[in-house]
């Protein structure tokens, strides 16, 4: 296949006017067939990678249903989010085990939709003081045997786990999980600078939705945010839905960390793609009005977003982030954060032949090629 006439995303150059060729399911130097897509008037970008979202179209990953996960994958692919690492909530181990088993089964049998490339355990190893919309009844101290049981249930799909490093056993947990190939993210925490720095020194390399669920950056107490900045291997997530973080802070954070480290996430809930109303979330109820989701009866407690990652990427551009930086933060960087950048996240030869065509004026999705097949 030849995708002609478009401005193709390049990690080093930004966008380059060139022809992108595919051969079967991979990007190649020459086309493997006589198919041609005219991408005139479009940017050609990698399929986006969301490493932190909970649900959409009325479904939630933590429901642990095969049908629900399929609906989520289908919706995400239609949005140009081609690779997903959905997040589980703070729930009992029995429920999380079923969530992990459902993910493993989906990975083996999925015939359509975005590819499930991992599982993110956002809970239960969190701080009660910064639990946010997580259910405090199921919070649990960091526990390596429990993590191993969940990883076994997921058949190796757990790629990312969020931990509050001030909790008992956290440092040993971080060190062991990292050695066992699971990326550790610091989040839902009241950790100070020194504690967060120790966590990053032990191997944590990710920060869960920066600013949300952690102490603010203070000039005398820089906390997790300052520690993340000072440890150059750490990649911070940020929710750019226009609700969670002010545009000025989005711009400042990209400037502070650099585009090569930033990860855009959606943190989307089951209400994404659905009308306003009340929805279940992690054993609690949330209410949605427009693009704002909060715990029911607690209008100041944000519960996640109702915007897809593609919508968050567009919002970042509206906030003034250069398109190439926003694309990188929604594709290559999240892929790198879970060790998948060798196959997905950029448009280089030998990688998955997955590309999304965006209208240059509106940034709306005009076409999707997924692993060499035209799906939109």
**Which candidate in 267, 276, 300, 352 is catalytic?**
267
Average pLDDT over the chain, rounded to an integer: 96
User: What tokens does 56 get?
Assistant: 């959409």
Give percent above pLDDT 70 in the chain. Answer: 100
Where does the pLDDT of residue 135 fall: very low under 50, low under 70, confident under 90, or very high at 90 and above? Answer: confident
Please indicate whether residue 267 is annotated as part of the active site.
Answer: yes
pLDDT of 111 over the 90 cut: no
* CATH number for the domain whose boundaries are 48-342: 3.20.20.140
Query: Which residues sit opposite 87 in a β-bridge?
Result: 120
Q: What is the pLDDT of residue 19?
A: 98
Give the pLDDT mean for 149-169.
98
| Strand-pair category, 277-281 with 263-265 | unpaired
Residue carrying structure tokens 């000025």: 248
Higher pLDDT, 299 or 39: 39
d(CA 42, CA 363): 8
User: What tokens does 335 get?
Assistant: 């892929």
Q: What is the pLDDT of residue 304?
A: 83
Higher pLDDT, 284 or 1: 1
CB atoms closer than 10 angstroms to residue 80:
29
> Which of 47-51, 111-115, 277-281 comes out lowest in average pLDDT?
277-281
Q: What is the pLDDT of residue 132?
A: 85
Give percent above pLDDT 90 in the chain. Answer: 94
Q: What is the pLDDT of residue 140?
A: 96
Burial label for 260, CB within 10 Å (0-12, 13-18, 19+), is middle
User: What tokens does 119 get?
Assistant: 């599982």
Query: Which residues sit opposite 206 in a β-bridge?
Result: 185, 235
Give the residue from 214, 205, 187, 245 showing the smallest Cα distance to 333.
205
d(CA 220, CA 226): 10
Phi, psi of 121 (to 5 degrees): -90, 95
pLDDT tens column, 245-282: 999 999 999 999 999 999 999 999 999 999 999 998 87
d(CA 144, CA 119): 16
Q: What is the DSSP letter of 73?
A: H
Q: In this structure, are residues 121 and 154 in contact, taking their beta carbons and an 8 Å threshold?
A: no
User: What tokens does 25 get?
Assistant: 């399911």
User: What tokens does 323 get?
Assistant: 């398109």
Give the pLDDT mean for 66-71.
97
Domain 1-47+345-376 coded CATH 2.30.40.10: yes
Domain limits of the chain? Answer: 1-47+345-376, 48-342
Give the pLDDT mean for 113-129.
97
Q: Is 368 in a helix, a strand, or coil? A: strand
Q: What is the pLDDT of residue 37?
A: 98
Q: Is 131 in a helix, a strand, or coil? A: coil
Q: What is the pLDDT of residue 284?
A: 85
Phi, psi of 222 (to 5 degrees): -70, -15
pLDDT of 283 over the 90 cut: no
pLDDT tens column, 312-350: 999 999 999 999 999 999 999 999 999 999 999 999 999
Q: Report CA-CA distances (Å) from 77 to 83, 296, 325, 363.
A: 8, 30, 21, 16
d(CA 27, CA 40): 19
pLDDT tens column, 206-253: 999 999 999 999 999 999 999 999 999 999 999 999 999 999 999 999
Q: In this structure, are residues 298 and 306 in contact, taking their beta carbons and an 8 Å threshold?
A: no
Could you tell me which residues come within 8 angstroms of residue 341 by beta carbon, excluding any fewer than 6 positions away? 332, 335
d(CA 364, CA 331): 17
d(CA 112, CA 70): 8
pLDDT of 361 over the 90 cut: yes
Annotate 294-330 with b (16+ C-beta within 10 A) or e (fewer). Answer: bbeeeeeebbbbbbbbbbbbbbbeebebebbbbbbbb
């Amino acid at each position: 296949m030849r995708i002609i006439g478009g401005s193709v995303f390049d990690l080093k150059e930004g966008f380059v006017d060139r022809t992108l060729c595919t051969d079967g399911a991979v990007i190649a130097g020459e086309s493997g067939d006589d198919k041609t897509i005219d991408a005139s008037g479009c940017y050609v970008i990698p399929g986006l990678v969301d490493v932190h979202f909970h649900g959409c179209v009325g479904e939630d990953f933590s429901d642990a249903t095969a049908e629900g996960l399929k609906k989520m994958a289908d919706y995400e692919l239609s949005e140009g989010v081609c690779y997903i690492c959905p997040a589980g909530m703070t729930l009992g181990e029995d429920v999380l085990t079923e969530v992990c088993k459902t993910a493993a089964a989906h990975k083996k049998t999925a015939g359509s939709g975005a590819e499930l490339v991992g599982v993110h355990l956002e809970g239960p190893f969190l701080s009660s003081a910064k639990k946010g919309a997580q259910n405090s009844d199921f919070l649990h101290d960091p526990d390596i045997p429990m993590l191993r049981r969940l990883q076994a249930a997921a058949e190796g799909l757990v790629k990312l786990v969020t931990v509050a490093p001030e909790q008992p056993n956290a440092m040993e947990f971080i060190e062991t999980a990292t050695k066992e190939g699971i990326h550790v993210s610091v989040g839902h925490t009241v950790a100070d600078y020194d504690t967060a720095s120790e966590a990053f020194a032990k191997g944590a390399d990710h920060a869960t939705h920066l600013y949300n669920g952690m102490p603010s950056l203070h000039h005398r107490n820089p906390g997790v945010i300052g520690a993340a900045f000072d440890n150059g291997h750490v990649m911070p997530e940020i929710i750019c839905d226009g609700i969670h973080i002010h545009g000025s802070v989005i711009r400042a954070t990209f400037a502070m960390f650099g585009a090569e480290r930033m990860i855009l996430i959606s943190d989307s809930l089951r209400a994404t793609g659905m009308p306003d109303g009340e929805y279940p979330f992690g054993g609690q109820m949330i209410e949605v009005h427009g693009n704002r989701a909060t715990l029911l009866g607690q209008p100041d407690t944000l519960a996640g977003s109702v915007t897809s990652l593609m919508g968050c990427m567009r919002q970042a551009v509206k906030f003034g982030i250069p398109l190439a930086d926003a694309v990188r933060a929604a594709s290559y960087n999240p892929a790198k954060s879970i060790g998948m950048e060798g196959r997905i996240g950029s448009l280089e030869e030998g990688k998955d032949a997955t590309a999304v065509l965006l209208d240059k004026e509106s940034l709306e999705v005009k076409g999707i090629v997924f692993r060499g097949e035209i799906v939109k």
